[in-house]
Amino acid sequence: MIDIIEIDEHRRLSLDDYAADARFVGAVANLRAETARFRFLLDGRTIWMVNSTAKGGGVAEMLPRLCALITELGIDIKWAVIKSDREAFFKLTKRIHNLIHGDLSGGVELGPEDAALLEEVNRENADSLRPHLKESDILVVHDPQPLPLGGMLKKSVGLSTVWRCHIGLDQRTDATNSVWHFLRPYIERYDRAAFSMAEYIPGFLEGRASIVTPALDPYSHKNRHLLLGKTVGVLCNSGLQPAYGATLANDDEYVHKVKRVMPDGSTAVPGEVGLLFRPIVLQVSRWDRLKGWAPLLDGFIRMKQGLGQDGEGKVMSRNRHRIAQARLVLAGPDPASIADDPEGVRVFREICSRYRELDSEMQKDVIILQLPMQSRKQNALIVNALQRSAAVVVQNSLREGFGLTVTEAMWKHLAVLGSSACGIRNQIRDGIDGLITNDPEDPDEIANNLWQMLGSPIWRYQMGRSAQMRVYEDFLIFKQVSRYLKLALSALGTERISWRP
Ligand code: UDP
């Protein structure tokens, strides 16, 4: 049974609230004026967003506010999430996800049994969504998990369809050729497709695909400004910092604490780990091999070891101190919340066992955190506070469709150490908004980049400033709303209709 997600709770902020902020007044006015010219084309229609999860990951992160703002613009939009209790389905879609990223580890071949499973789960979900739909509606399906559903519903309901793919690879490999060959029949039943980057559009979709860059909401709990007291309060209340006095945050909201992985493999509430006092190198992501966790850990260790190898005179004592004090925080969802993602659990365990092999001094400087996922708001505030506590945010992805974690950190005025993965290098201009590690599997390059960034606070500050401007200009939600509406219109084949003045 498909889940229709209630989006009312996210509607408390209106476009007027954004427009009351001098930074966003122009963007809101542009969006309203633009929408007023084509809204009549969407009258009487519902735009349906369909994806595979209501919590966790970039798509679920962005949809609630996007839907709320589109509703406020006078356009009917709903959000549905497909469901399945079949582990094999999630294993298969994970394989498809990895193949689109060019990862062959799950094998290349996708055969008729895979197609049958994908279709069966999608048929069940299509059947439960169908009664809600009408012919004039526009279905926007996100990512491969619900992909076959679009063709099924188009055939029976006749509505307009868009497939929005958030992942991709900027190269053609055996893996990508094989997975696009497998998915092509499902995609071709759609009226239109959209990708995050031009590099990801497979050849057979040329001329039929749009670009929709992801974006963030500057007023979301993940990205809103936090005063210092609030940041500290969130850290204290979630167990990331001992409170040395009363805090402002309401403890009732923080029933679920962050857990730290301990050297003996157990978990504990972290307590004092230096978040407020030391230069923190932070990566927050899902436990996915493609996020480059292991080489990041190795790179950090090498940076620390480099300190011992360098002659006393070579490193300025200030920098020596900074690097000696630096700590690495690796944060991701509590594995209990990702039981439907066995590979994620495996990756998490691998990182933990690498951690257990470190010597006890290094173990103090590496902090693996499991973030509670029960409350979206609490999780978002924890990520927000963690990012604001960091000196350097890293996103060492081997592959990355876009990388909202990068955008989030850039918006918070932080210099990010990204990788050359397509989504990341399209956000960070190397040396301007942050640094790019060309080979995210090379611990020496990571160590060197971390060393440079930690050792140059003024340069970091300048890069952070320019990073924030970059997000302001290109990656805020107002532009994204406009891009989605144009995408919906393109599925109707009306994008070339001359709009009313
Ligand atoms: N995220 C989170 N809690 C976690 C791990 C990740 O809220 O424990 C969020 C993160 O802040 C970001 C999103 O999940 O907003 C991940 O999006 P991204 O585009 O970076 O990667 P994806 O997960 O979609 O591959």
Q: Is the CB of 404 under 6 A from ligand 1?
A: yes
> Where along the chain do its domains lie?
3-215+476-491, 258-474
User: Distance, CA 383 to ligand 1 centroid (Å)?
Assistant: 9
Q: Which CATH number fits domain 258-474: 3.40.50.2000, 3.30.470.10, 1.10.3720.10, 3.40.50.920?
A: 3.40.50.2000
pLDDT, the chain, mean: 92
- Number of the ligand 1 atom closest to the C-alpha atom of 371: 8
Q: Is the CB of 286 under 6 A from ligand 1?
A: yes
Does pLDDT of 453 surpass 80?
yes
Say which CATH class 3-215+476-491 falls into: alpha beta
User: Distance, CA 1 to ligand 1 centroid (Å)?
Assistant: 26
Q: Please identify which residue in the block is written with the tokens 């890069």.
A: 463
Q: In this predicted model, which residue has the larger pLDDT, 277 or 253?
A: 277
- Distance, in Å, from the CA atom of 481 to the CA atom of 70, rounded to the nearest integer, reads 7
pLDDT digits (tens, 9 = 90+) for 166-196: 999 999 999 999 999 999 999 999 999 999 9
State the greatest distance between any 2 C-alpha atoms of the chain, in Å, as a whole number. Answer: 74
- Distance, in Å, from the CA atom of 475 to the CA atom of 407, rounded to the nearest integer, reads 7
User: Distance, CA 406 to ligand 1 centroid (Å)?
Assistant: 10
Indicate the SS3 state at residue 91. helix
- Number of the ligand 1 atom closest to the C-alpha atom of 402: 19
The protein residue whose alpha carbon is closest to atom 6 in ligand 1 is 285
pTM here is 0.86
| pLDDT score recorded for residue 448 | 96
CB-CB contact of 189 with 160 (8 Å): no
| pLDDT score recorded for residue 501 | 32
Dihedral pair phi/psi, residue 9, rounded to 5°: -60, -20
Q: Please identify which residue in the block is written with the tokens 């991709």.
A: 168
Q: Is the CB of 61 under 6 A from ligand 1?
A: yes
Same fold, 3-215+476-491 and 258-474: yes
- Distance, in Å, from the CA atom of 494 to the CA atom of 488, rounded to the nearest integer, reads 9
Q: From the CB of residue 431, how many other CB atoms can be counted at a distance below 10 Å?
A: 11
Confidence tier at 250 by pLDDT (50, 70, 90) = low
pLDDT digits (tens, 9 = 90+) for 98-125: 899 888 877 778 999 999 999 999 999 9
